Amino acid sequence: MSHELIQPGELVEAQPVDVSPLAVDAAKAELDLEVLWAKRDKWSRVLRTLAQGAVSAALVAGLAAGSDAADLAHLDLKVVGLAAGQAALTAVVAYVHNKTRPKA
């Protein structure tokens, strides 16, 4: 689709636009805000991953405890510790991934 006044192959010249310092400052502030939101989003994802890992650890520990429900004296705290360690490791892996390959 072309405009009636512009012919195919014709060069169009535009007048320079004066950008005020206020517009430049506003654009810089918007970019700074985007960087801030990206950092906040990164930490939010790390915390969500940690929370998901903690829920996963609680479920694993709960299942282990449930299997020994008849005899609570044999509750294996190593399983609980292993599940908690897995949750922490999951959060660390998510953090390292976000540091090395940030989302866009």
- 33-76 pLDDT, tens per residue? 888 887 888 888 888 888 887 877 777 777 776 666 656 566 66
The number of folded domains in the chain is 1
Residue of 31 and 1 predicted with greater confidence: 31
Q: Is residue 9 part of a domain?
A: no
Q: Is residue 12 part of a domain?
A: no
Q: Identify whether the C-beta of residue 76 lies closer than 8 Å to the C-beta of residue 69.
A: no
Q: Is 19's pLDDT higher than 80?
A: no
Q: Identify whether the C-beta of residue 60 lies closer than 8 Å to the C-beta of residue 90.
A: no
Q: Is residue 11 part of a domain?
A: no
Q: Is residue 67 part of a domain?
A: yes
Q: Is residue 41 part of a domain?
A: yes
Q: How confident is the model at residue 96 (pLDDT cuts 50, 70, 90)?
A: confident
Q: Is residue 42 part of a domain?
A: yes
Q: Which domain holds residue 36?
A: 21-100
Residue matched to tokens 């694993």:
60
Q: Identify whether the C-beta of residue 86 lies closer than 8 Å to the C-beta of residue 53.
A: yes
Q: How confident is the model at residue 2 (pLDDT cuts 50, 70, 90)?
A: low
Q: Is residue 6 part of a domain?
A: no
